[in-house]
Structure 1
Amino acid sequence: MAACAGVSTAPATAAPQVAADDAAADAPVADRRVVFPPSVQQGALVIGKVPAGSRVSHGGRDLRVTGYGTVAFGVARTEDGPVGVEVVRPDGSRETVSIAVTPRDWPIERVNGVPRGTVDPPPAIAARIAREQAAVSEARTRDEARTGFAQHFAWPVEGRISGRFGNQRIYNGTPGSAHSGMDIAASNGTPVRAPASGVVTFADDLYLTGGTVLLDHGHGVSSNFLHLSRMDVAVGDVVEQGQVIGAVGATGRATGPHLHWGMNWFDVRIDPLLVLERR
């Protein structure tokens, strides 16, 4: 959640790497094929195609299917795989898909200079943080028919990657949780744009994450944008890809101006960089 010095970086314009099948676009499949990538990395957003009208489940959850047969689900940072998908076609025939999960290394990131009250907050502040986190979690429970999740995601802001998804964070020498998103260093006030279309489900100033906006892309897939200096959208606003939703800041637990961009599939955290590379 904070800008991190000394972390390996990559430019925002790095060449994309194909991480999944070309089945990402929400377009119809003309036959009975079930198409999923044979393998994915931990933290991936999996996009698959099934015959329109099929019923699909994963991990005990029924997945929403678009009219064109596109489905999505997330793979957790800790998933050791393989993961399974059950498909029942409209004619009643069934197919089980097994997707291998490739493990990743998770380096340690040390973040110093963080205000002590945000690392070890007093009881009253801890209670506030718990309430705020519960409200954010509630905003991630929506399962809408929007199809922004199937778009080719764009960078919300250009800049140096100063913190990577999944890395273990140590704040002022105190171990914290794994980093839940990707930090992009940029100047204070730099416009932040929607990486894909969606609807705003949360917009508020929170203790740890400062200016915070959640954008629901449909089918349980959402983005969160933290530490904003300005929020230009409100709950219920429908935004298009590339629309300005706020500005880079250093609000909340942050050591300098940057955008923390996180993504979820419901409560499963996924890596925005893998989503960008899935082209």
Structure 2
Amino acid sequence: MRLRAGATLAAGLMAALPGCAVVPEAAGRAQPVQAPPAAVAVAPAPAPRPAAPAPFRYEGQRIQGGMLVGTAPAGVTSLTFDGEPIVLAPDSRFLIAFDRDAGPTARLVARFADGREQVETLSVAPRAWQIERLPTLPKVSQPSAEFQRRRPPELAQIAAARKQETGAQGWSQRFQWPATGRISGRFGSQRIYAGEPGSYHSGVDVAKPTGAPVTAPADGVVILAADSPFTLEGNLLMLDHGMGLSSAFLHLSRIDVRPGQRIRQGEVIGAVGSTGRATGPHLHWGMVWKGRRLDPMLIAGPMPG
């Protein structure tokens, strides 16, 4: 009786202990049994962070009339610039530029092979253009019938030339001045006649004597060499530099190259003159990228010497 009473007391004490249970043995003694361990909560793994945008690299100036040569990140398969497709070179470089009247921002969209899309918003710095106001001088009179007859075919030739794709690689070079001397006309300057704006100056003028050589500012292909003087441009020569970029050389006294000819940077292509609508001998150098007019001074840098 004493042993049974002791066993009963021990069993009661064991039952009171947390995590223990009491089961009887065959001999009548109680044995403690360990309860299974409680489940441990495991925190979920943190979600992977989205990959940081791959960087683009640019050379040039983000400014009205400026041009950028960019390098796309690895994996980019296509680009658009303000909604327009942009060609990627095999080394992932590309060309974009900003018109004289470009807005404050431009949008570059890159698409990757894995389906990702990356948007770059580029700030475009404004410029203070040289504006000359002539409040008492009326705008130029109406063009003559002869001008109206000749001008449309000339413009058609210029437009067709700019549509040519030649595969030229001059766009990737550092441009040089086709002639050096005093700058007599700046890109973007404009006259306001009695409150009515005239056309802005679409290139840069370099004052030189008639016959001074004109050289190619970069590699290119001749896309237009006028057979006879145009009404405004005179003897007009145009070079394609590739990627939609072209140069135009106006008022030449002679043209030394022919359409389709491949030209190397620094090669003589013509001579300064005063043909067309010009008040004296000078070279007018204009640049256009996909319809956007650019400032050659931003692309070639300051005039040497």
Q: What TM-score, normalized to structure 1?
A: 0.79
SS in 1 for 2:167: coil
Higher relative contact order (CA 8 A, sep 6+): 1
Q: Cα RMSD over matched residues?
A: 2.5
Runs of 4+ in 1 over 4 A off after TM superposition: none
Q: Secondary structure at the match of 2:62?
A: strand
Displacement after TM superposition at 1:146 (Å): 2.4
Show the counterpart of 2:223: 201
* Structure 1 segment 114-133 matched on structure 2, within 5 A: 120-133=142-155
1:159 match? 181
Mapped contact 1:39–1:99 kept (Cα < 8 A): no
State whether structure 2 residue 190 is matched by structure 1 residue 190: no
1:228 paired residue number: 252
Q: Which of these two proteins has the greater Rg computed from alpha carbons?
A: 2
**CA separation of 1:276 and 1:42: change in aligned 2, threshold 3 A:** same
For residues 72 and 106 of structure 2, the distance between their equivalents in structure 1, rounded to whole angstroms, comes to: 17
What runs of 5+ residues in structure 1 fail to find an aligned partner? Answer: 1-31, 112-117
| Counterparts in 2 of 1:181 and 1:202: CA distance versus 1, 3 Å | same
Is 1:248 aligned to 2:277, yes or no?
Answer: no
Partners of 1:110 and 1:85 lie apart in 2 by: 37
Amino acid at match of 1:225: F
1:84-124 deviation digits (Å, cap 9, x = unpaired): 1011133433211111111111113589xxxxxx9642123
2:297 to 244, 263, 273: 273
Alpha-carbon distance between aligned partners in 2 of 1:254 and 1:66, rounded to the nearest angstrom: 39
Quote the offset at 1:170 in angstroms: 6.3
Distance 1:169 1:126, change over 3 A: farther
Separation in 2, partners of 1:58, 1:277: 25
What are structure 2's unaligned runs of at least 5 residues?
1-53, 135-139
Report the residue type matching 2:111 in the other structure: V
Q: Does structure 2 retain, via aligned residues, the 8 Å contact 1:48–1:72?
A: yes
Closer/same/farther in 2, CA of residues 162 and 119 from structure 1, 3 Å limit: farther
Identity of aligned residues (%): 43
Partner of 2:288: 264
Other structure's SS at 2:160 match: helix
Taking the aligned partners of 1:170 and 1:223, their CA distance within structure 2 comes to 27
